[in-house]
Every structure is written in structure tokens, then in C-alpha cells.
Structure 1
Amino acid sequence: MKPVTILLFILILLCYSASASASEHARAIDIDSHVITKHKATINDQKISYTVNTGTQPVWNAQGQPIATLHYTYYKRDKIKDDSKRPLLISFNGGPGSASVWMHVAYTGPRVLNIDEEGYPVQPYGLQDNPFSVLDVADIVFVNPVNTGYSRILPNKDGKMPSKAEQKKLFFGVNADVTYLAEWLNTFVNRHNRFRSPKFLIGESYGTTRVSGLAHALQNQQWMYINGVILVSPTDIGIKRDGPVKAANRLPYFAAAAWYHKALTTELQNKDLLEVLEEVESYTIDQYLPALAKGAFISEQEKQHTITQVAKYSGVSEEFVAQNNLDIPNAAFWKELLRDKGYTLGRLDSRYLGIDKRDAGSRPDYWPELTSWLHSFTPAINYYLREELNYKTDVKYNMFGNVHPWDRSNNKTGEQLRLAMAQNPYLNVMIQAGYYDGATNYFDAKYTLWQLDPSGKMRDRLSFKGYRSGHMMYLRRADLEKSNQELRDFIKASLPSADKAAKY
């Protein structure tokens, strides 16, 4: 062989070797993978063993080509002889753009954050057993939508990533999100032989929009009946409440936050929170809402009475209520309530306090609850997946992924949930909400419950549960126990007896 030929051959080998090496060390998630680990726990006073399957499963397009892969964690109780009678709880968080981490390691899973009794982080960061997990009565799968957790969009067969417009059309919108997740769940349920099992969807925050749409899509596109839907700290799910209704619905939440921070009158502070809220809710519906509806044409006498009552129930001054024309924005309330003490309130959980650069201003500088949560959840989930569940990757776990701009048009998920309930006599819905949540306030959640089925014919299949905490009500130890037990009760109550047919 000539020297030039030998040199060319060596160069080709070196290029091939470099290419293979680069490919092997690319920072990419496996498209289709799983890792199995075995565990034991004491849950609801029962000693149980369980298997965890954590991995990835592709999203396919109509041509059968993988266009994304979703990371999941699937908990399955061992020694169950008949899966057809074992409920499957399918869990999503929200954002949109949020990973499934929040409910995974703080609510229903068998391991939860190392936090104090009220839910505040402590060091060293880590996990502890969750004796209240619903794993005793249901298997659970936590799903990360595209670009959250380890889930990622994949390049096409030519190695090119879809454009931002194509990504939005495929994944990043109310209806696109529901469509691809319904297909993905069909595959997951088939792979794990769970088509006969009773199925429950649980979503938190924007996840409630997601599961409301999924209940309909699974029944009408995948022919998969659902036994229950749990809406944790729900969004409006397409049920509009603008104008006076939106403004009025804030007042009970204001009262709850003010009561917690002892900013109400002595008369109200001496009452239990629920007693105060019952009084404020009645005033909101019967008097505050009608007063706001009158706008500029309200009488001076009624306006002054409204100013006095709103100030009394919200803990802010009459002057502040008047300056806001009876309609106090959330951000203004978070800044105003404890302004004289030098603190702001958290948005997602108003028990948390923040410190701003200036006491002046109309909104807080930052959200103290979110910063607290992120620096406790992030190390915990990274440690847990890698060290306890043995899922190792160099891909970053996205607590919040890039999914924007999100297409919020044509959001009919509330109506879709109503229709799914009407089509399926087995389907029940429960709402869980924290009284101190200022982002998706509990009275808006009640309003959603009231408006979901205007006919009232399915009223007995709808329920509301409230908690003395915020958006993630399960962070508070007492509410972790209470919310899991009420979820456990809901699952059991939504399982029809063997001789109960699905008919009216």
C-alpha cells in the first residue's frame, strides 16, 4: 500500500473513531429504557413491598417514528394476584412546563422531602419515608411531559430538530398536550397490561387542565374509561370567571391569608379559620359580587358599606380598598397586607414571607415560597432518581422546561370533563385546594365545581376538600396525612361493586 493511501486510511479511521466517541458521549436521554428496583415500606400501618420501574417511553407520530421520549416513574405494589382489580393512579403536575417532581416526592409517592412539620425545607436536603402514601391502595405512575424532567423532543431521521412552530403544534398547547399524552398513555397501559385496571387521573395546577382534557380524550379517542379525576389546586379549566366574578372570588382567599397572619379584627381572629371563611363566602356571593357588578353606578351608601366590609375581611385599610375601586389585585394584596411590618406574602402559599428592596411599590420582588421549594426539591429528586432508583443520565432534570409560547386557545377542558362524566356513570371528580393558595385560590376552585355541571344532575359525583396550607397543600405534615387519606377514600368509593353496571 502506498504511503499516501496508508495515511488516508489512518485519517478515515481516526475520523470514524472520533465520530463514534462523540456519539457515545452525546448528552442525550435513552429513547426507550427502564431500570427496575425493589423496595419496602410501611404505609397506612401496613408493611408492603413494591417495585419501581423508572425509564423512558417514546412518543410516536402517525408514521410510527419517535418524535419525543417521556420519562416516567412507575410504582407497583408486589404480591398482587389480580391487576384487573388494582387501581392505577396516573399523575401529572402543571406549569405548563413543570416536571412531575412535586407530587412525586411530596404527596402520593412512598418517599417525600425532608422538611419540617409546616413544609419548610431543612438541611441536609433529602428524603424520608411517606407513611401516608396511597401506594397501599393504588399503583402510581408519574409522567413528565415533553421538555420536563428528563423528557425530550427527538431529532428526525435526518438528525434535525423540529422548528419552534412545529414543536408548538406537536406538543405545546392545551389540545396538542392532551392529544399526544393520550396516545402515550395508551402505549404505557398496554405495555404494563393495565387496560382492565380501574384508572384515576390526578393533576396539580395546570395539570388539572391536562387531566380534564385527558379524561375525555382517553374515553373518546383511546376507548379507555376512567373511574376518577382529582384536581389539585385547579386552574379555570376553560370555565371563564372574568370581571366581577374574578374580583369577588379573591376575597375569601384574602381573608384566609389575613387570618393566618393575624391581620384581622379581634372578633374574626377569635374564630376558627373555617368559621371565618363560611362568613366571608356568604358575603362574597350575596353582597360583594352584586356590588362589583354595579360598577360606577353603585350608590355611595352601598359603596361605603362594601369598602368597610372588604377591608374588614381582607385585613387591609379602607383607604386601600377605595383606592382600588373595591377590586384589589392579587399582587397588590401580597405587597400591602404586611407592608407596615416590612414583609410580602408568597403567591402560591401565602404563609411564606418575603423581603423586598423597598416597602413601597405595588407587587413583591420575588416569590419566597417558590425559591424555598426549588432549593429543597431539586437536590432531592436528583439524588433520589440516581441513587435510590438507579436511573443514571447526564441529561439535566428540568424542574421547569422550555414549553413556551404555550397555545392556550380553544380551551374546552372543563366542558370535556363534564361530557366525560356524562358519558361514563362510573366517573367521579374530587377537588383538593389549600386555603392559603393565592395563585389558584380555593374559592375559584369551588366556583369551578359549581359551574362544571350546570344541570346539577351529577352533583353527587363532585366533591371539594380544603386544607390549611397553600398550592402544594401536602407539604404541611397534617395535610399530607389528610389529603392522602381523602384521596384513598375517594379511590375506594369510586370503585363500583362487581354487579354495578355503567348505566343511569
Structure 2
Amino acid sequence: MKPALPTRTSGTNKAYDSRYISTGGIVAFCTKLQWRRPALVGAILLAGCGGGGGGSSGTTTPTTPPVTTPAVPGSFADVTVYSSAATGSLSAPNENAAVIASHIQLNGKQFDYTATTGHLTAVDAKTGQASVSFFYVAYTVTGTTAAKRPVTFFYNGGPGSASTYLHLGSFGPRRLVSTIPSANIPPVQLVDNQETLLATSDLVFIDAVGTGYTQAVAPNTNADFWGVDKDAASFRDFVQRYIAVNKREASPKFLYGESYGAPRTGVLANLLETAGVQIDGLVLQSAIMDYNSNCGVLDPNAISCEGYIPTYALTSAYHGRATPVPVETVRNFATGGYRTAIAAYLASKVAPPSAVLNQLSDLTGMSTLIWQQNFDMQPGYYQQNAVPGQLLGRYDARVLAPTGSALTRDGDPSLTVVNASFSSSIVTYMANELHYSAGSAYAPFIDIVNRWNFSHDGKQLPDTIPDLTAALTLNPAMKILAINGYHDLATPFHQTELDLARLGENQSIVLKYYASGHMTYLDDTARRAQQTDLINFMNSVTVSH
């Protein structure tokens, strides 16, 4: 028998790589979390979103909760045992949570808010039964009118990442100090976040199934939700339940997905609109909306790497390997001379024209011979060879470290310098400041990419542009903001431009760019600019709501 929905309670004790290896003749690609199938090389695992070393069991080593001090009013000590394993399944979910009052000073004004940390049970739309016990943290400003107050749902990607990076790195009320693009690992320091979006919107950070403390409810198992369609459906069910429980039906609503979270957003928006839930705005952070059009995802030399050319040029200029040129200049080259030449090259191996090779050399500082031999240059090759003797970061190519050094052993120095602090800080933050503790280990990321069902809408890999099209058809007033980092080698900005261009001319779609990487907000200057752009975007929606 499927369990009935639990009763929500609150109060003390009730409250709520780029390295290639050979594996038996098969080439696998080493990324920050695991080795990948050759057919899914490169961008399949798109975390910005998690990190660390992968394991063979399907999960990574979770973060052990710290010893906590005696309970304070509103705290909650969760004794439920959670599992990130494929077979993980809760027999009886609970909706208890820690509910803590706090405040933050922003521009001389105090904002009082409630932090709610715990679980909410998603209900399967078809069966009406509990399907997933979602772990989430919600920040809600007090003394506001719900009907006029926006609410934004945040989630990272992977697939297999909890919302740790967005939660502690971007626009929550507290954030970890970052020194990106420096390759120096900073001391762990949590500070009040002057770039939080709390002055504009309530914030809900959600962990996907198997990550954090989120787990399937019996008879379902975690693995049942490890696929494009089932994952998005579970998020739909969570969002609908959160809206109903918290009476946010009239609130302006935003979805904020990073990396793999962006295609999840495309599918999720369509599912919600189909279910009658109006979404006012989508934020696509470092997106890959169509896996089929992105080089580095399928087998090498099968798809044009045009989408990477502007990122290569801007990154080489940053490192002093090439003369800086305007973004529009290199974009025009990519869509002009390079596009024509690479199409002929991929179709029949027509030798690249000398003029195109010379321009590629000028833009990147790499020789014409290198470009002749690697005309459809994969991002992993560029990452290893753009600066001799150095490995560039995949998630932020401004970060580099000597090849073979400790910072490069996981294949991405830009991730190594930040990963440990995020993984360790999320649990201590929840225990010490949100006053939620659990007896189980928290899973900031799990190694599930090789178990993930990437098929969607009849294709082996997802193309979510049709989902966006359908969502916009159902709700023409919905607006989209695409956030891009110029130095992101995981989801290059020009490829995002090409994918979104399929939606046609639409003034509701805005693209913004920052001198940063995949997690744009880890750069202090970029985060400040991004906050301004996000506030303007949200205000453009809510002013007419």
C-alpha cells in the first residue's frame, strides 16, 4: 500500500577532464564526477553543480553531519535515515522542518525572514500518491503580501547535483567567500550576501532525487526518477505542492535552473503550464538546451564546435595568448567563415581554407598546424593545449594551474579551488544557522550520469527547445533570461545563442553576459552585475502582474 501524505508540523522537536583513459578499448572522458560513456562525451555532466571524485557504486561520498549543540526554538533534529543509492526508498516520509527567524541588512534596510529547512512530499499527478520526499530550504521575507511577493525556485544540475552551489554561492542570504578567478583556495568563510535576491523575491532551493536528503517514497526508488522526463515530473509535483501548502497560487513565480538545471527548466516549465500553473519567468543559467547540437556531447568530429570558437578567442586573449577582439567580431567569424568551412570539413573532409586557419590562429594564439590537425577543436583539447604547460579550468577557463599539479588531478582547477569548501559548508551551515540536523550524511552530488535516461521526446539525448516553444505557446507572457559566462568551457555562450535562436525573434527572451565562468556568480564583479540584471528581469515581470 502506498503511504498517505504526512501531516506538516512545526515547533521544537516537531518542526518542520579532461583526461582520456582506455577502458577495454573504449575511450572514456574524465570529468569532475566520473568517467563517462564515449557517446556522451563532454557536456553531459554539467554541474557547476557539484563536484569531486566519482565512485563505482552510483553515489559519491556524502558529507557527514557535524555534532550539533542543544536544540534552539524552531530547530529540528531529523532521525530519518536517508540514502542516495539507486534503491533508496522511504517507507514513511515526514514533512517536519526547522523554522528559524533571521534577518539581513541590505542597503541600510533590515529584511526579516523565515528560513524553513526540511522536507515536502511531492504527489504523483497521475496516481495521487506520495512519490518523492523533497529536501528544500526556503527563505521567506516576513510582513509581505503573498499575492504580490515573487517566489523563485532554484536547482542545480549534473544530473546528480544538489543545490549547494546556487544556495551558498549565488543569491541566498548567506554565501561563501570566493576568490575566483584566482587559483588560490580561500579559507572557508560565510558572510551576509549583499547580492541576495531576498529584497525582490522569496527563495526556495531544491535538491533533486538522490541528492542532499531528497529520496523517493516507496514503492518508488531513487533510480525511478533518474531520467529527463521522470526528473522534471517530480519537480513539477514538488512545485505544485509547495505552492498549495504555502498558498502561493497568486504569487509571481520564477524557475532558476543552472547547467543541466536549464534543460530541466525547459521541460518543467512546459509541464507546469500544461498543468495550469502559470510561470512568469525562467532563468537559464549556463544552459545546454539541446544536447544534440553541442559538440563534445556526442562522438568527436560529429558536430561542429562553432559554439566554442568565441569562448576560445576570449579566453586566449584573457591569458595573453592572443590580441583581444570585440565579441561581435569573433561571433561574426564563427557564424561566417568558420561555419562554412567546418560544414564542408565534417561532410567530406575538405581541407580548411588557409584564411580561416590563419584567423583561428590569430584569435587563439595556437598555430595554424594545430588548427589544421584539430579543425573541429574539442573543448577538452583546448583546455589542455591553449596555454603550454598549464591546464585551464573547464568551468572557468580563466583559472589555470601547472599540468600535473595538485590542482589539476581532478581535471578542472577551477572546480578544485571551490569544491571542498562548498561540500563541507552546506551541512555546518544548516546545523549551526538553519538549526536543521540529520543523522544521515548529506549527498551534495551523486555519480549517476551513466545511469541517467537522457532520452526525451523520441530522441536519445534531450532537445528542450520544443518544450520552451510549447510553454511559450501556452503562456506568451512568460519571459526568459539566459545567463552566460564568457569563459565557460562546459556550456559556451555562443552555443546557447544558437540554440535559443530557434525560438525566433522574441522580445521576451533576454541574454546577459559576464566575464566569468559556468558559475558566473562566483566572480564578485559578475555577481553584482548579475544581481542587477536579475532584479530588473523580475521587476519587468512583476510590474504588470
User: TM-score per shorter chain, which class?
Assistant: 0.7 to 0.9
Deviations 1:46-103 (A, max 9, x none): 32111111111123445554343110001101111x2101111111110011111111
**CA shift in 2, pair 1:60/1:420, >3 Å:** closer
Query: Offset at 1:497?
Result: 2.4
Matched, 1:396 2:396: no
**CA shift in 2, pair 1:183/1:314, >3 Å:** same
Matched, 1:142 2:205: yes
Q: Which moved more, 1:243-252 or 1:489-498?
A: 243-252
Q: What is the one-letter code of the residue matched to 2:329?
A: E
Q: Percent identity?
A: 27
Instruction: Name the one with the larger helix percent.
Output: 1
Deviations 1:235-269 (A, max 9, x none): 134563567863122110101111111111xxx24
- Tell me which structure has the larger Cα radius of gyration: 1
1:197 alignment partner in structure 2: 251
1:275-286 to 2 correspondence within 5 Å? 275-286=325-336
Matched, 1:235 2:285: no
The unaligned stretches of length 5 or more in structure 1 are 1-23, 270-274, 499-504
1:259 alignment partner in structure 2: 317
Query: Offset at 1:122?
Result: 5.2
Q: What is the one-letter code of the residue matched to 1:233?
A: S
The 1-side partners of 2:180 and 2:294 are apart by 35
Matched, 1:327 2:376: yes
1:246 alignment partner in structure 2: 304
Match of 1:409 among 443, 455, 468: 455
Q: What is the one-letter code of the residue matched to 2:248?
A: R
Query: Offset at 1:315?
Result: 2.0
Q: What's the Cα RMSD here?
A: 2.4
1:92-491 to 2 correspondence within 5 Å? 92-116=155-179, 118=181, 123-156=186-219, 162=221, 167-168=222-223, 170-221=224-275, 223-237=276-290, 240-241=293-294, 246-264=304-322, 268-269=323-324, 275-295=325-345, 303-324=353-374, 326-339=375-388, 342-357=389-404, 366-404=411-449, 405-410=451-456, 411-451=462-502, 453-454=503-504, 456=505, 459-491=506-538
| Contact map agreement 2:197 2:535 (CA 8 A) in 1 | yes
| Contact map agreement 2:306 2:495 (CA 8 A) in 1 | no
Query: Offset at 1:153?
Result: 2.7
Deviations 1:266-298 (A, max 9, x none): xx24xxxxx532211111111110011112768
The unaligned stretches of length 5 or more in structure 2 are 1-77, 84-92, 296-300, 457-461
Indicate the SS of the match to 1:55: strand
Matched, 1:83 2:146: yes
**CA shift in 2, pair 1:227/1:60, >3 Å:** closer
Q: What is the one-letter code of the residue matched to 1:335?
A: Q
Q: How many residues are paired up? A: 444
| Contact map agreement 2:121 2:241 (CA 8 A) in 1 | no
Matched, 1:66 2:116: no
Shift >4 Å, 4+ stretches: 61-65, 117-123, 241-245, 296-300
The 2-side partners of 1:121 and 1:214 are apart by 38
Match of 1:56 among 112, 116, 119: 119
Q: Which moved more, 1:394-403 or 1:234-243?
A: 234-243
Query: Offset at 1:357?
Result: 3.4
Q: What is the one-letter code of the residue matched to 1:434?
A: G
The 2-side partners of 1:437 and 1:260 are apart by 13
Q: Which moved more, 1:66-75 or 1:431-440?
A: 66-75
Indicate the SS of the match to 1:306: helix
- How does the TM-score come out when normalised to structure 1? 0.83
The 2-side partners of 1:153 and 1:407 are apart by 17
Q: What is the one-letter code of the residue matched to 1:436?
A: H
Q: What is the one-letter code of the residue matched to 2:369?
A: E
**CA shift in 2, pair 1:26/1:220, >3 Å:** closer
**CA shift in 2, pair 1:347/1:251, >3 Å:** same
Q: What is the one-letter code of the residue matched to 2:196?
A: S
